[in-house]
Amino acid sequence: MPFYYFPMSRAYLIGYLLVIIGSLIMIYAQIKVNSAYSKYSKIPNSRHMTGAMVAREILDRNGLQDVRINAVGGKLSDHYNPRNRTINLSRGIYDGTSIAALAVASHECGHAIQHLVGYKPLVIRNGILPLCNVGQYLGWIAVIVGLIFGNSNIAWLGVILMSGILLFQIITLPVEFDASSRALGILKANYLTTDEYSGARSMLSAAAFTYVAAMLSTVLSLLRIVLIVAGNDRD
């Protein structure tokens, strides 16, 4: 059946329901991490160290003196850039002395340490990222073209290409979990009291859930496309 008929199909309606569920999961994840950050950004660490200070100590202790630490704009825009070997911390983390600041800064140091030791999931993720981005773009084109012209082979090829981003997100999970594990181990041993450590763990757990939510949302979005393509095949 031509593309312009399937909006009335049950597969199309179920697909929209899946997208709504995925969006709700993402919203919940953002509320969760923002709530955790709001709570723990107001609690100072007992050593009164800033995120930048702790990050510098962690990096130097692990032989990463060449990794620069930059202050950047935005809220929770913190990230490690492996291309220019920089840790980029938002102002609230860079200058902050809160438990949240130390948790986030240490997490980004965890990524730098992963890069140093050649942590396999990180190497794989960085390697497939360009292919996944291209695949997602071409996948949408293939799906739309396949549905418009009634060519299921092209449409299914598009689904396969688009699934690359799901693979990327799956590989991202151990990368993020491991970085948080490294960060928490360092914080517990050197910087935080027992109560402070509990707060840092809650903060990083909430942040990690955003990656789980993104993966689940992608699964539901892909399932929506699969239902539409499969329904178009039957019609």
pLDDT digits (tens, 9 = 90+) for 209-219: 999 999 999 99
Which pLDDT belongs to residue 149? 87
Stretches where the chain sits below pLDDT 50 are 1-6
> Is 108 in the active site?
yes
Which residues, including other chains, have CB under 8 Å from residue 181's CB and lie 6 or more apart? Answer: 110
Alpha carbon distances (Å) from 66 to 58, 59, 85, 89: 12, 9, 8, 16
Which pLDDT belongs to residue 40? 96
Q: Which residue, among 144, 136, 145, has the nearest Cα to 166 in the 3D structure?
A: 136
Q: Which residue, among 170, 177, 144, has the nearest Cα to 159 in the 3D structure?
A: 144
* Residues facing 81 on adjacent strands: 86
At 86, which helix (H) or strand (E)? strand 86-90
Which pLDDT belongs to residue 4? 43
Which pLDDT belongs to residue 193? 94
Q: Which residue, among 119, 121, 111, 229, has the nearest Cα to 169 in the 3D structure?
A: 121
Which pLDDT belongs to residue 6? 46
CB of 54 within 8 A of CB of 200?
no
Across the beta sheet with 86-90, what order do the strands follow? 68-72, 86-90, 79-81
Which pLDDT belongs to residue 138? 93
How does strand 86-90 pair with strand 68-72? parallel
Which residues, including other chains, have CB under 8 Å from residue 2's CB and lie 6 or more apart? Answer: 148, 150
- pTM (2 d.p.): 0.88
Which pLDDT belongs to residue 231? 76
Which pLDDT belongs to residue 3? 45
